[in-house]
C-alpha cells in the first residue's frame, strides 16, 4: 500500500454515514468486502450478460463478467501502481444495478418508466441506488455505506439534471472533470472484458466463426501469428488461444498508452487527473481497432436473430411485469408495498423488477400470466 504511485488514490473523502476506520483492512478493501457480501452481488450469478442465463452453463453471466472486469482492472492497476483495492471494488460493483435479461431489460424498464411517470431507469444510477439505499443489512444505515471514491467510480455517467441532485458525487459532471485513475480504469476494463468475452461466447455458441472474425483487423493479425506459431492448432484450443492473446495484447497496449499519457500530461497527484483529459485510455490506433470489433459484434452477434428472439421475449416479460405491478400494487410483495408511500409506486416497481434474476422474473411472469400454473 505505501509504495503506490503519487497519482494513486490512497485516502478517502469519507462515507455518507460516519464509521470508525477498519482495523485490519484499508477503506477500499472494506468496500470490496461489503460488495461481495451483498445480496445484489449474489443475484448477478443469475442475470444475463448477452446470452440468456439458462441457455448454457458456460456462457458469461453478470457475475462472471464482473469477476473478469475485476481481473483486468487488477492487472492494469498493478502495472500502473495505482490502488488495486479501489479498482477491484468499483469493478465488482459496476453492474449491480443491471436488470434481468441484459441490456434489453434495462431498455424496456427505462421505456416503461418514461411512459408511466416521465422518469427513466438507468442501470448505472441503479447500481449507486443499491449501494446507497437499497441493500438492507446494516443496523445503522441503509445501503452499504461505501466510500466516496468507490461510489464515484460506480457512477460512470449521469445527466446534468441528475448530477444536480447528487451533491459532491455530481460535481464532476457539472464541472466536466474526470474521475480518479482507478475509476477511469474500471470503466475501460468493463469494455475490454466484454468485447473479448463476447467473442469467446459468440464462438462457443456457433453464432460467429473464426473465419468471419477475420474481417476484424486485430483478430486477423492475431490469428495469422497464431497459425505461424502453431500450424496444427485448430478448434476450441485455437479459439481459446486467440481470446487469451487478444486480452493480453490489449491490456499491454492499455498499460503502455496510459503510461505515455501520465508522462505527457505531467500527472503527479490525484488532483492533476481530475483536470486532465482521460488518462487511462487506448492509443488512437487501438481505439479504432476496438471500434471495428464492436461494430462486428453488433452486426453479427448482438443483432443475430436467435439473440433478438430472446430479447423480444424478455422485453415482453419486463413490460408485462411492470404493467401488472403498476396496475395493482396489492400483488407486490408486502415489503415493497410498504415502500410505496415514501418512494412512489413506479420507483418501487422498478426497484423490484430490476432486482430480479432472470429465472425469478420468468417465475413471477408465469405466476401472473400462465393459466397452466393454477
How long, in residues, is the chain? Answer: 374
Of residues 325 through 344, those in contact with Mg ion by CB under 5 A are none
Closest distance to Mg ion from the beta carbon of 181 (Å) = 19
Q: Select from 68, 88, 95, 358 the one that contacts Mg ion (CB under 5 A).
A: 95
By CB under 5 A, is residue 68 in contact with Mg ion? no
Residue 361: partners with Cβ closer than 8 Å, 6 or more residues away: 100, 101, 317, 318, 321, 353
Q: How far is the CB of 190 from Mg ion (least distance, A)?
A: 4
**Closer by beta carbon to Mg ion, 49 or else 258:** 49
Shortest Å, Cβ 187 to Mg ion: 9
Count of residues in contact with Mg ion, rule CB under 5 A: 2
Return the number of the residue (95 or 108) whose C-beta is nearest Mg ion.
95
Contact status, residue 118 vs residue 216, Cβ threshold 8 Å: no
91/208 with CB nearer Mg ion: 91
Is the Cβ of residue 190 or residue 351 nearer to Mg ion in the bound state?
190
Among residues 27, 132, 190, 200, the one that binds Mg ion under rule CB under 5 A: 190
Considering beta carbons, is residue 27 or 190 the nearer one to Mg ion? Answer: 190
* Closest distance of CB 65 from Mg ion, Å: 6
Span interacting with Mg ion, options 22-30, 123-131, 189-197, 224-232, rule CB under 5 A: 189-197
Q: Which is nearer to Mg ion, 95 or 200 (CB)?
A: 95
Contact 168, 155 (CB under 8 A): no
What CA–CA distance (Å, rounded) separates 125 from 113?
A: 14
In the numeric block, the cell 434489453 is attached to 104
* Interaction pattern, residues 144-163, with Mg ion; x per rule: CB under 5 A: --------------------
Residues that bind Mg ion (CB under 5 A): 95, 190
Amino acid at each position: 500500500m505505501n509504495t503506490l504511485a503519487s497519482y494513486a488514490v490512497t485516502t478517502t473523502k469519507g462515507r455518507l454515514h460516519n464509521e470508525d476506520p477498519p482495523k485490519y483492512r484499508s477503506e477500499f478493501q472494506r468496500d470490496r468486502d461489503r460488495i461481495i457480501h451483498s445480496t445484489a452481488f449474489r443475484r448477478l450469478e443469475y442475470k444475463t450478460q448477452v446470452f440468456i442465463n439458462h441457455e448454457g452453463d458456460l456462457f458469461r453471466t453478470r457475475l462472471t463478467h464482473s469477476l473478469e472486469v475485476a481481473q483486468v482492472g487488477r492487472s492494469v492497476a498493478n502495472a500502473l501502481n495505482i490502488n488495486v483495492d479501489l479498482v477491484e471494488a468499483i469493478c465488482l460493483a459496476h453492474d449491480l444495478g443491471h436488470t434481468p435479461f441484459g441490456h434489453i431489460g434495462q431498455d424496456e424498464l427505462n421505456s416503461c418508466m418514461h411512459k408511466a411517470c416521465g422518469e427513466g431507469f438507468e442501470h448505472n444510477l441503479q447500481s449507486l441506488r443499491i449501494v446507497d439505499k437499497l441493500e438492507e443489512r446494516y443496523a445503522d444505515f441503509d445501503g452499504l455505506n461505501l466510500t466516496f471514491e468507490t461510489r464515484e467510480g460506480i457512477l460512470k455517467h449521469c445527466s446534468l439534471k441528475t448530477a444536480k441532485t447528487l451533491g459532491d458525487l455530481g460535481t464532476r459532471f457539472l464541472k466536466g472533470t474526470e474521475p480518479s485513475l482507478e475509476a477511469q480504469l474500471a470503466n475501460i476494463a468493463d469494455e475490454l472484458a466484454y468485447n473479448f468475452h463476447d467473442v469467446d461466447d459468440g464462438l462457443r455458441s456457433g453464432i460467429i466463426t473464426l473465419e468471419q472474425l477475420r474481417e476484424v483487423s486485430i483478430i486477423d493479425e492475431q490469428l495469422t501469428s497464431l497459425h505461424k506459431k502453431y500450424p496444427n492448432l485448430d478448434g476450441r484450443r485455437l479459439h481459446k488461444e486467440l481470446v487469451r492473446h487478444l486480452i493480453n495484447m490489449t491490456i499491454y497496449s492499455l498499460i503502455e498508452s496510459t503510461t505515455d499519457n501520465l508522462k505527457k500530461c505531467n500527472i503527479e497527484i490525484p488532483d492533476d487527473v481530475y483536470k486532465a483529459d482521460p488518462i487511462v485510455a487506448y492509443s488512437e490506433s487501438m481505439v479504432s481497432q476496438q471500434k471495428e470489433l464492436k461494430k462486428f459484434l453488433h452486426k453479427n452477434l448482438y443483432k443475430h436473430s436467435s439473440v433478438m428472439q430472446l430479447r423480444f421475449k424478455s422485453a415482453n416479460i419486463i413490460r408485462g411485469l411492470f404493467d401488472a405491478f403498476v396496475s395493482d400494487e396489492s400483488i407486490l410483495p408486502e415489503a415493497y408495498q410498504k415502500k410505496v408511500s415514501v418512494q412512489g409506486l413506479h420507483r418501487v416497481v422498478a426497484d423490484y423488477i430490476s432486482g430480479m434474476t432472470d429465472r425469478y422474473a420468468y417465475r413471477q411472469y408465469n405466476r401472473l400470466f400462465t393459466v397452466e400454473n393454477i
